[in-house]
Structure 1
Amino acid sequence: MISLDANSEFIFRNLVAYELSHASGPMFFARYVELMNGIIDTEEDVRLLRERGIVFNHLKSDQEVANLWNGMSKCKSIRLTKAPLLDKVIDDVNRYYNSRWTVKIGKFMKHSVFSSWKFLTVLASIVLLLLMAVESFCSVYKCGGIF
């Protein structure tokens, strides 16, 4: 559970900077900030975490919490470190997310359909022209018995 208020961003940035200045071991807090930044992108993400008791929001809105975590990615000083426990949690979350059928369908649509829209447009145009040619041919030569 994490409680967020108006001072949270400053505290997080200072804790990350302190942890980076004494980099004698794995940087757990920097990885936690990275994890939360990866989880929270929109107001809807914050609402889901708040409803499940993971995030306690003392800010004005859920959008401010999303902006707080998304703003933490602007910390250029955060470098990736190996924290085995957090790495396992991140891998588990990614594995769960990528195994959902809605995500699989979305990735398929983005990769197969939306990236090939030019090809599909040309194909649809050719099919339309062929159908128009068949219709014109049939209107002249009365091929109603064939179709």
Structure 2
Amino acid sequence: MDAANQQQQQETRRTSKGRQKIEIKRVEKESNRYVTFSKRKNGLFKKATELSTLCGAETAVIIFSEHRKLFSCGQPDVDQVLDRYLAETERVPNNFPSLIKNNVENQLANKQEYAESLKRLEEEQTVAKMIGSMNNMNGGGFWWDLPIDNME
């Protein structure tokens, strides 16, 4: 009985066309054109915001509708991105001195960590040489193969 219900549901279920690629051309019906503009505008803004979030890029998107209405989206701000573009120079952030200070502190910490790591590496290499020389004294064999007379 269960198999019969499944078969009946499959027969009555609509089959969708799914997500299809549409031809890029002007939408003739005005109401459809408004809906298409709204959906595509939001998708474009989402993509620009996503690009900014994922890559740290500064983005600005400016769109004029068919009725000359302005829509804009920008990360961090449309005005900042446009000013930077028009001036063709990078603005120095307000917190630039603190950024330099943090960078210098990080570099010093990294150098100190590197020096400590080198010191530990040298110690490990010394221990490895000692173990290697002990193995050479043993003839390269295992410690349990040594004569019992030499053990302390």
Task: Compute the TM-score of the two structures, normalised by the length of structure 1.
Answer: 0.25
**Structure ranking higher on relative contact order (CA contacts 8 Å, 6+ apart):** 1
Task: Compute the TM-score of the two structures, normalised by the length of structure 2.
Answer: 0.25
